[in-house]
A and B are shown apart, each in its own frame.
Chain A
Amino acid sequence: DAGVTQSPTHLIKTRGQQVTLRCSPISGHKSVSWYQQVLGQGPQFIFQYYEKEERGRGNFPDRFSARQFPNYSSELNVNALLLGDSALYLCASSFLAGTGELFFGEGSRLTVL
């Protein structure tokens, strides 16, 4: 069975640009969450979507946005990139929302120059 898949795996952007990251959850999972992991730190919660509705948002600026599609896949968008946005962006899926049993993808590594 396929796990959580994310694309692209690596990308390099310059300050001020915009980026879109994509995620496909495990088949049958209806909840998708996004986390940012800066090198040497634990992941930090950005968004959770369940059944295409936003269920939670972390302490991130409005430059970060996301959506979930009818097939439960998801996109994370970041506008006006800053150097500090360089990180590993992780997508996680779960069957339900709020149970804690999240399964993560390999992440998209974003470098902002």
Chain B
Amino acid sequence: QKEVEQDPGPLSVPEGAIVSLNCTYSNSAFQYFMWYRQYSRKGPELLMYTYSSGNKEDGRFTAQVDKSSKYISLFIRDSQPSDSATYLCAMEAAGNKLTFGGGTRVLVKP
């Protein structure tokens, strides 16, 4: 079993819809939680960074962390075709490496 599980998709939504992404994890030592966006053949771009449980909002993006359920989510409101990309969740225990999910491919159709 992988430490971080993420549905590979693709997740197809119409423009303007809410995109809902999630990851589950097994390592209770994780305390930093991140979401990255990766366009094809590009490096990952940091979208959201949260520490421990709770919600964080930044523009159209909302990240949620539920440590009791070992579950994190990312919501994208008013989705745009430019949001079409692969979204990677990543987690870190106190230390030195990120553990990534496999990524979810998102397609926002005009």
Contact = CB atoms under 8 A, between A and B. Distances in A.
Contacts of A4: 43
Residue among B6, B97, B103 facing the most chain A CB atoms (10 A cut-off): B97
Nearest to B36: A104
Chain B interface mostly helix, strand, loop or mixed?
A: strand
Nearest to B93: A98
A101 B46 contact: yes
Interface residues of A, number: 28
Contact of A56 (B41, B96, B100, B102): B96
A107 B43 contact: yes
B32 to A, nearest CB: 3
A8 to B, nearest CB: 14
Interface of B: 4, 6, 8, 32-34, 36, 41-46, 49, 51, 88, 90-92, 94-103
List of 3 A-B pairs having minimum Cβ-Cβ separation, nearest first: A100-B32, A42-B100, A56-B96
